[in-house]
Structure 1
């Protein structure tokens, strides 16, 4: 068995970044930039007022109270054509260009209009409440780097930078193939020895949330012809993900059947729990990731291996499960030779430290506990008994499973 880190390294080495395509900005949400986002304009394009008030010369309000003649008015979207001279002020609103000659804004709460004059009660220094040209960005500035997943903030920035079209990575097409006579899809009749399959739908949702396009191949029965036919339908996809059929047993056909179809196996079995029977290889030019059949094992492996795999295809930085530090919330016994990923909840200790408390039951079929978990608590192989309060590594799940 190989380590989790070695398995991740070998999976990523077997994947290549997908080509780029052009999309309109309105379709950019959830896409990964293939090129830097570069501003096509300067924002603001000229000095503008940051507040509603009066555009003045700072020298005229150095001593207050003072009385200034109102030379004009300038709402947002318009421009004062003249120049603010000594002893003058211009009524201005947020976002409006600062008139020539003015170098500061007196906010409206600090001044009172009296006929054709304004009485200023609080002085301001030069530059006060003035947003200089290019304060946000200038034409040619890089706003978002290539490899970044476009979220609402980045979409808004692209719009402000006057970028209507973007070069993004093509969405990876991920074929999903659950296997086994014992599973049926939700809503189908359930036989005496069958269970409802959650893996296909959960992994499809996971792929979609990570920016990929899931391709449902259906359920392969435990016979060679069914598995070979459905696996062949993955041609043209960027990644094939199977679940089940990878353990040791006479009905575990994935390795043998796909081997006959040309699977070049890179590795099989890793030293982790849950998720030992994980495999990776290349099937007729399509990378193939074989996940365990137990639903918790499949999703934990999706977090640790499928997520960074999709990130690599999309040209994103390595999204290996980001670990954080916490303190242990309950005593744990010694660990065996496998790296353990325990489902756990998170809270805060009285002194504000993050605390991870593992569930007493960690069975790899217990999906309810995974949904209730806030993180995976990572234990190294051969870890000794550990008392509550000791530092531990965790993989937060909130950003991975979202609303779950």
Structure 2
């Protein structure tokens, strides 16, 4: 068995940054930007009013009240064509271009409109209620930097910068193959001794959430022919993930069948719980992760190993979100394997995170993982800890 940190390092070392592709901005949400978004326009393109009111010259409003002659109006999108002279005012609306000669705006609440004239009762100095040209951004400014997963706000900014196409990383295509005669899909008829599979469905969802495209290869039976046939269908994808069949039983065929098909095994077995029988290697240059079959083990291992690999392939950092919490109940000494304890999170009266581990930690109890808010990290040979001690936790919000 190898340490967890070494296993993660080997897996990340195999990550190859995926090439970029161009997509319309309407398809950019959630994609990872491969090239900076650079403004093609200046916004606002000219000085505009921030309020409904009157565009005037500061020189004309040194005292109040003052009555000026109305010479036109400037609604948004229809600029006033003339030039403001002394003693004149232009009715202006939010977003309207500031007329030549004007340098300030008096809001309509401080004015009395008489039709041909307007009386102003208050106002500010130069630039009051004026948005100068380029206040938001100018041509050539970088709005969104490469290496970011695009959000709704990023797309809004890109659109306003007049960028209709985006350079993004290609989505990693991930083949997912479950194994085992005992496994059937949800809704199928259960024969004696069979169980309903959750792993394929969950892993497909996780791959999508992480920005990838899952390719569900189905369930291979416990025969070399069945496994070989479905593994061949993984050709052309960026990553192969198998579920189950990686242990040492007579029906655990993944190592032997994939080995015959060209698998170059890097490691097998990690000093961790849950997830000890995890396998990693390369199939003709394509990374392969063999996850354990127990659902908790499969998902915890996917979070710890598959997630950082997929992020790295898209050019994103693969750091874990680790936080400190107060332990709610005693825990005994740990053995030689790193342990990931499923736990609930709450907040005490001082605003501190409190982690309460479930009393039963079995890799077959998916309900506990579904109800958990975090994993408590316990290092190999960690000493006993008492309620009130500090522990490190990994929140599971995204999982």
Q: TM-score band (shorter)?
A: over 0.9
Structure 1 unmatched runs, 5+: none
Tell me what 2:220 maps to: 220
Change in CA separation of 1:76 and 1:367 when aligned onto 2, cut-off 3 Å: same
**Alpha carbons of structure 1 residues 350 and 121: separation in structure 2 relative to 1, 3 Å:** farther
Query: 1:68 & 1:339 partners in 2: Cα distance?
Result: 79
Moved more, 111-120 or 267-276: 111-120
1:330 paired to 2:325: no
Match of 1:376 in 2: 375
| SS of equivalent to 2:29 | coil
Instruction: Please give the alpha-carbon distance, in whole angstroms, between the structure 2 residues aligned to 1:331 and 1:56.
Output: 73
Quickly say closer, same or farther: Cα 1:363–1:114, change in 2 above 3 A. Answer: same
Shift of 1:241: 0.3
1:3 corresponding residue in structure 2: 3
Question: What is the aligned length?
Answer: 399
**Residues 229 and 45 of structure 1: is their aligned pair in 2 closer, same or farther, counting only changes over 3 Å?**
same
- Give the C-alpha shift of residue 62 in structure 1: 4.2
- 1:334 and 1:255 map into 2 onto residues whose CA distance is 33
CA drift at 1:388: 3.1
Report which stretch shifted further, 146-155 or 319-328: 319-328
Unpaired runs of 5+ residues, structure 2, are: none
Distance 1:88 1:199, change over 3 A: same
- Distance in 2 between the 1:339 and 1:85 partners? 79
Q: How does 1:197-346 map to 2 (within 5 A)?
A: 197-314=197-314, 316-346=315-345
- Write the deviation string for residues 323-345 of structure 1: whole angstroms up to 9, x where unpaired: 23333333332222222222222
Superposed displacement of residue 129, structure 1: 2.0
**TM-score with structure 2 length normalisation?**
0.94
Residue 391 in 1 paired to residue 390 in 2?
Answer: yes
Q: How does 1:72-111 map to 2 (within 5 A)?
A: 72-111=72-111
Note the C-alpha offset of 1:130.
1.6
Maintained 8 Å contact 1:178/1:218: yes
What is aligned with 1:56? 56
Kindly indicate whether the alpha-carbon contact (under 8 Å) linking 1:235 and 1:286 is maintained by their aligned counterparts in 2: no
Give me the whole-angstrom Cα distance separating, in 2, the residues matched to 1:369 and 1:207. Answer: 22
Deviation at 1:279, TM superposition (A): 1.3
Of the structure 1 ranges 132-141 and 99-108, higher mean CA displacement relative to structure 2 is found in 99-108
* Structural RMSD (CA): 1.8
The alpha-carbon deviation at position 365 of structure 1 amounts to 1.6
1:179: Cα distance to partner? 0.9
* Alpha-carbon distance in structure 1 between the residues aligned to 2:119 and 2:223: 90
Q: Secondary structure at the match of 1:371?
A: helix
Cα distance in 2 for residues equivalent to 1:268 and 1:343: 24
Q: Normalising by structure 1, what TM-score?
A: 0.93
Show the 5 A alignment for 1:133-212.
133-212=133-212
Change in 2 beyond 3 A, CA 1:264/1:47: same
